Structure formats: C-alpha cells, structure tokens
C-alpha cells in the first residue's frame, strides 16, 4: 500500500525548495506567491488562473 500522505509531503517539500531557489532575494509575500503558484500549476495541470485558484 502506498503512503500518499508521505508522497504529498515530499512533493510539497520539493516545490518549496525549488521556489525558494528561484525567489531568492525577493520579499516574503512574493516568495509565498511564487510557491503557491508553482504548487497550483502542478496540482491543476493548467495555466488558467481560475483552475490554479481552485487547486
């Protein structure tokens, strides 16, 4: 049986680490925005803002 909770945690951690790398030097709100946008893009598998917002 696959442990989905652990898998989701690892994916979120990797997204967080990646977003920290690309947003280095930006303010905290901008860093948080980038992190949430990347996660939304991956989760919704769409570039439409309405779909990203729903994820």
Tell me the C-alpha distance between 51 and 14, whole Å.
22
User: How does pLDDT run along the chain (55 residues), one tens digit per residue?
Assistant: 577 888 888 988 998 899 999 999 999 999 999 988 998 898 889 888 888 888 7
Q: What are 7's two structure tokens?
A: 């898998």
Per-domain boundaries in the chain: 4-54
- DSSP type of residue 38: H
Longest pairwise C-alpha distance within the chain? 41
- Residues with Cβ < 8 Å from 47, sequence gap 6 or more? 41
Spell out the long-range contacts of 8-11 with Cβ–Cβ below 8 A and sequence spacing 24 or more. Answer: 11/42
Q: What is the pTM of this model?
A: 0.73
């Amino acid at each position: 049986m696959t442990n989905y909770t652990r898998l989701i945690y690892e994916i979120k951690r990797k997204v967080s680490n990646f977003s920290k790398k690309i947003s280095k030097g930006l303010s905290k709100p901008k860093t948080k925005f980038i992190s949430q946008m990347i996660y939304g893009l991956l989760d919704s598998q769409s570039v439409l803002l309405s779909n990203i917002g729903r994820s």
